[in-house]
Amino acid sequence: MLHVLIQRLALPAPALMLGIACRTCGGQDAQNGAVPEPGRVTAHSQGLHGYIGYEASRPPKQSAYCIGMGFYAAAWPLIGQPLANIQIGLPGTWILPDNADDKDTPLAPVGTLARTWPERGPTWSSVFQTVEGGLGYWAGNHFRYGPPKFSMNATPQCYDYEVGSPGWSFFRGNEALPDNRLGIAQLSNRLLIPPDGLTFQGNPNGQFLGYTWMALPFTEATPGDPPTGDQSWTCFLSSSNFKGPIAYYIPETWSKIGALFHDPYLAGRGLDARPGDIGGGAIEINTVPRFDAQDAHGVLYSKIPRLQFPLDADGRSLLVQDVTYYAKSALYDEVKAWRDGGPASSGRFNAAGAWSSTLTTHAPHYDQSGMKLSGIERICTTTVFAGNIWGLEWPGSPISRQGSFPQYFRNDGGVRVPVAAAEVPPETHLVEQEFTLAGTGATYTSPSTGAWGQPGARSGPLTVTLVDGSVVTYRWYRFVDQPSLQQYHWSEGKRARLQAFIEKVHATWTIDRDYMAPPRSGTLVTMDPALIVVPPAGMETGYVPIVVRQAAR
């Protein structure tokens, strides 16, 4: 299942071609395929590409268990120090609206970016809308610090734009999104959500972060233009010092594409109304720098950064566990009843509405500039360990170096094979090459006008300093006054009902108890304590801390 999912969902935009400084050649190869002379080192961006994935079995009644999916994923520093020009997503998944009944009608309107990808036709369902994101390193990160970050990501409109936080895109720009493209409503009144991603305390080494996407009915479905469903896809986290929901995608984020492109067929086709089509997951290796050089005999060698994986006491890399699908009875039904005047919901996922998936794995595929890497399986292989935990095992090759992916490769008959550092001829000068460290990025900014200024914040600016060295500025907004909700001309009655309900959620769903079931093994990672805030007096419920700026210290 996963290989089909990956084929459908791999980011369809062209691979990032990022320049990397070369310390010996004083420049970079023009990427024209020319083989350098012996000893001349050239720099490239396509050092490693591929997916290390697992397949997750689906419930017998898939249509029932389609309202949510979650798991525990390991957090660890994949790279030993912050490097520039690297993008690798740690184990994550993808959620699409289930449009399996559509066999030939385009879901990507003419004029959208995805419609220019004919290979996704005839329906373009795989690039219509997605929720993805998770733990990882992204080329657009402004403030790298070693460990990964956690970020939400979605593509609401056929890859025309992305949403990654309550104010910004997914590392695609420094300025906040235009008012009409804001898509995430901040739900938590205790956790900041910076545009550069959530940070972690210390140097996590395989501790688990739990996260679940659960569709919840914070608002009612409406028949207007556009008709909009009641599914607010909500992100829940589980860490040692924070548990609970952090934010949700506003249903109109998904439904408005039909009205924008005057396409009535799209009504009811988005994630606001459709069941979630959720498969397995993967580590997505997108952009990795590399150096190339040839030896005295014309044999080409390459080097990539050291990619390291956490090891337990038995030498195993335990990466994903407790993959679970959810039905409406897990939480949706309780929240709907509570919203409509019934008893309060504890927020804890009901086990009767949860279905535990069985994981399987398959051989990964890796390439370097399109050339297959062969022999990786002798160094590390994917497996499912006892307890239904997916990860990597290391057969003991000296190249693995205690959980290290191979760094060096030799061109060998049309493929590239891993070699130890000692096998790299010294005249290549590859071993001494160092990859460029990440610099500090530009400031994330937001306007003081438009949705950010009207009705506006209820507090002056406050600041915290994160472990990545950045300074985050935030303001307290009344929940319904936050910027992402201002583009919709809701009635005062609807605004008042939503505000009143969120006040109940804030009073009831605290951050110190479980929502997801605890992990069956391992320990939880710790969020950066600077992200956890306390509402000011008089704003204990019904107010949320909205990040308005993130800058270097």
Residue 534, domain extent: 2-57+66-289+442-552
The Cα–Cα gap between 188 and 545 comes to 8
Answer yes or no: is 365 within a domain. no
pLDDT attached to residue 401: 54
The Cα–Cα gap between 404 and 454 comes to 51
The Cα–Cα gap between 54 and 44 comes to 29
> In a 10 Å sphere around its CB, with 0-12 CB exposed, 13-18 middle and 19+ buried, how is residue 182 labelled?
buried
Residue by residue, pLDDT tens for the chain (553 residues) are: 333 333 333 333 323 222 223 333 333 333 444 555 788 999 999 999 999 999 999 888 777 999 999 999 999 999 989 999 999 999 999 999 999 999 999 999 999 999 999 999 999 999 999 999 899 999 899 999 999 999 999 999 999 999 999 999 988 889 999 999 999 999 999 999 999 999 999 999 999 999 999 999 999 999 988 999 999 999 999 999 999 999 999 999 999 999 999 999 999 999 999 999 988 899 999 999 999 999 999 999 999 999 999 999 889 999 999 999 999 999 999 999 999 999 999 999 999 999 999 999 988 989 999 999 999 989 999 999 999 999 999 986 555 557 999 999 999 988 999 999 999 999 999 999 999 999 999 999 999 999 999 999 999 999 999 999 999 999 999 999 999 999 999 999 999 999 999 999 999 999 999 999 999 999 999 999 999 999 999 999 999 999 999 999 9
Amino acid at 449: T
The maximal CA–CA distance of the chain, rounded, in angstroms, is 78
The Cα–Cα gap between 229 and 392 comes to 40
Q: Give me the number of domains the chain comprises.
A: 1
The Cα–Cα gap between 503 and 65 comes to 29
Residue closest to 230 by CA, chosen among 263, 271, 190, 196 = 271
The helix or strand, by DSSP H or E, that contains position 495, with its residue range, turns out to be helix 492-508
- The token pair that represents 5 in the structure block: 């999912």
> In a 10 Å sphere around its CB, with 0-12 CB exposed, 13-18 middle and 19+ buried, how is residue 320 labelled?
buried
Answer yes or no: is 19 within a domain. yes
pLDDT attached to residue 18: 28
The Cα–Cα gap between 177 and 467 comes to 25
Answer yes or no: is 324 within a domain. no
Answer yes or no: is 422 within a domain. no
Q: How far is CA 332 from the centre of its chain?
A: 23
Answer yes or no: is 435 within a domain. no
pTM of the model: 0.92
Which residue is it, tokens 């220019």? 116
Residue closest to 198 by CA, chosen among 246, 161, 163 = 246
Answer yes or no: is 436 within a domain. no
The Cα–Cα gap between 369 and 287 comes to 10
Residue closest to 82 by CA, chosen among 199, 240, 211 = 199
Dihedral angle sign, alpha carbons of residues 361, 366, 372, 376? negative
pLDDT attached to residue 60: 84
Answer yes or no: is 489 within a domain. yes
pLDDT attached to residue 437: 95
Answer yes or no: is 405 within a domain. no
pLDDT attached to residue 36: 57
